[in-house]
């Protein structure tokens, strides 16, 4: 019934790292350009209020002698649970087709929330999904590549190359976790 938006999950993920105000969250979006989220107050404050209404975050007015209001938000246990559930979702083909950015965002939060074992599982699912997608793209390219206009074909090949790059990254990231496991 109470669906949380992509932005909502991004906020939950950031608040899991440390409690922050809406303004702080905005700054994160302006400075780091996370997954292309907007830093507009018209997006963030309503999103925070929705989360608060759904009981996923709790905002406390900070009182440091200053009159200036500043609401610091933190995840509630329900919020943390919602975040975890989101992070634990399997990697679907749709996720890969419609924007890897969101998957990367999930992965970025994963280590601190679910730990290295789950992060590795995620990467392996990601590898499988990307591999099958690449195969599909290659097939399409073989069939229609010649009939495409030059820039169209090049743009398509860019997509292919990007996915190959994702694959390489995921594989080397799995290796990072493997090595870390060994040294611990």
Partner DNA sequence: AATGTCATGTAACTAGTTACATGATTTA
Partner DNA sequence: TAAATCATGTAACTAGTTACATGACATT
CB of 51 to DNA, least distance (A): 10
Q: Give the C-alpha distances (Å, rounded to integers) separating 88 from 5, 44, 61, 135, 147.
A: 16, 24, 32, 26, 41
Of 53, 77, 177, 82, nearest in space to 127 by CA? 177
What is the side-by-side order of every strand in the sheet holding 57-61?
20-21, 71-75, 57-61
Mark the segment that binds DNA (CB under 7 A) among 4-12, 124-132, 150-158, 159-167.
4-12
Q: Which does 70 bind (CB under 5 to 8 A by kind): DNA, a second copy, none?
A: DNA
Q: Which of 17, 33, 40, 161 binds DNA (CB under 7 A)?
A: 40
Question: For residue 45, which of 66, 24, 30, 67 has the smallest C-alpha distance?
Answer: 24
Rounded to whole angstroms, the Cα distance separating 143 from 135 reads 13
Judged by CB under 7 A, the residue of 45, 86, 169, 177 near DNA is: 45
Q: Which does 180 bind (CB under 5 to 8 A by kind): DNA, a second copy, none?
A: a second copy
Q: How many CB atoms lie within 10 A of CB 26?
A: 19
Write each residue from 47 to 86 as x if it is in contact with DNA (CB under 7 A), else as -, in one continuous string: xxxx---------------xxxxxxx--------------
Q: How many residues bind a second copy (CB under 8 A)?
A: 38
Out of 135, 139, 140, 179, the residue judged to bind a second copy by CB under 8 A: 140
Q: Does residue 112 interact with a second copy by CB under 8 A?
A: yes
Expressed in angstroms, the distance from the first to the final Cα of the chain is 43
DSSP-derived pairing of the beta strands 57-61 and 71-75? antiparallel
Residues in the site for DNA, rule: CB under 7 A?
3-8, 21-24, 26, 38, 40-43, 45-50, 66-72
Residues in the site for a second copy, rule: CB under 8 A?
32-33, 36, 97-99, 101, 104-105, 107-112, 116, 119, 140, 149-152, 154-159, 161-162, 165-166, 168-169, 173, 176-177, 180
């Amino acid at each position: 019934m109470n669906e949380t938006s992509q932005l909502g999950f991004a906020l939950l993920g950031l608040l899991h790292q440390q409690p922050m105000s809406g303004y702080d969250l905005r700054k994160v979006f302006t400075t780091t350009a996370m997954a292309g989220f907007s830093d507009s107050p018209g997006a963030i404050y309503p999103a925070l209020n929705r989360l608060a209404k759904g009981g996923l975050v709790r905002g406390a007015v900070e009182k440091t002698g200053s009159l200036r209001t500043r609401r610091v938000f933190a995840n509630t246990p329900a919020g943390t649970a919602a975040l975890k559930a989101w992070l634990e979702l399997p990697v679907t083909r749709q996720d890969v087709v419609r924007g890897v950015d969101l998957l990367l965002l999930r992965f970025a939060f994963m280590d601190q929330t679910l730990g290295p074992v789950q992060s590795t599982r995620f990467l392996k699912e990601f590898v499988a999904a990307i591999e099958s997608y690449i195969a599909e793209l290659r097939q399409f390219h073989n069939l229609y590549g010649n009939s495409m206009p030059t820039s169209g074909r090049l743009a398509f090949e860019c997509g292919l190359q990007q996915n190959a790059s994702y694959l390489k990254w995921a594989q080397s990231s799995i290796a990072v976790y493997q090595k870390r496991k060994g040294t611990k």
